[in-house]
Amino acid sequence: MRPQLILVGTLAVLAILAALGEAAPGSSSWPCCNNCGACNRKQPPECQCNDVSVNGCHPECMNCVKVGAGIRPGMGPGPVVTYRCDDVLTNFCQSSCPEA
């Protein structure tokens, strides 16, 4: 009886973990890219993304670089600093990023 209880408990925990790991419909997980840069010819390709953000890079980005100062949208006061993830990842450009 006890081994059956352990088996049922283990299966229940695995089912819960599997449900938590699924992405919500319409959501997109990183990596995603809207402005694809260079890709190599490997299958699947390894690509670099040229997306920039004023809010920094995604937490999973290993190499976040400061791109430089640009002009604020609407010609607001002062320059704005932008960042780009410089990682080269497999299928980086396969998924578009959701609108923020």
Q: Class of the 29-90 domain?
A: mainly beta
List, for residues 28-60, the tens digit of each pLDDT value: 467 889 999 999 999 999 999 999 998 999 899
For the entire predicted model, the pTM comes to: 0.58
For the CA atoms of 83, 87, 90, 94, the dihedral, rounded to the nearest 10 degrees, stands at 10
For residue 25, what pLDDT is reported?
38
Domain extents for the chain?
29-90
Average pLDDT (5-21) is: 45
Average pLDDT, the chain: 75
